[in-house]
Amino acid sequence: MSANPQKQRIGLNRVWHALGYSLSGLKAAWHEKAFRQEAIGGLIMVPLAFYVGHTWVETALLAGTVVCVMVVELLNTGIESAIDRIGPEWHELAKRAKDVGSAAVLLSLLLCLAVWAAAIRVNFFTA
C-alpha cells in the first residue's frame, strides 16, 4: 500500500489540497437528505441571525449553533459511511455507533432550538 500523498505536502500546497478534500466532503454530504435540509435551513437562519441578534455575541451564538448542527451532521455522516463500508450485516456495535451519532445530531438541534428560542423571546417578547 502506498503512503498518503497528503502527508508529503507542506505549506500552502498542503492547505490547498486540504481545501479540495473539504469541498469534496461537502459535495458528498449534499447527497444526504438530512445535511441538505440543514444546509438549506442554514442559508436562511445564518443571515436571519443578524436580525434576531442584537449584539455581536448574540449573532455569533445564533449563527454558531446553526453551523454546529451542520458540523455534527457531517461527523454523523462520516461515522455512518465508515460503518457501512465495513459491511451491510447488522451488528450491535455498528448500531450503537450510528445511534450515538444520531443522538449527537439531536443534541445539537436541541441546543440550536434553545438558543434561538431564548434570543427571540428576550429580543422580541420582553419589555
List, for residues 60-86, the tens digit of each pLDDT value: 999 999 999 999 999 999 999 999 999
Percent of the chain topping pLDDT 90: 84
Residue 3 lies in a domain: no
Residue 70 lies in a domain: yes
pTM of the model: 0.88
> Is residue 73 flagged as an active site residue?
yes
Number of domains in the chain: 1
Is the pLDDT score of 9 beyond 90? Answer: no
Is the pLDDT score of 59 beyond 70? Answer: yes
Rounded CA separation 125/118 (Å): 10
Residue 117 lies in a domain: yes
- Cα torsion at 28, 32, 33, 36 (round to 10°)? -30
Residue 88 lies in a domain: yes
Residue 104 lies in a domain: yes
Task: For residue 119, give its domain range.
Answer: 29-124
Residue 56 lies in a domain: yes
User: Among residues 32, 38, 73, 92, which one is catalytic?
Assistant: 73
Q: Give the domain CATH number at 102.
A: 1.10.287.3610
Q: Which residue has the higher pLDDT, 2 or 88?
A: 88
Residue 87 lies in a domain: yes
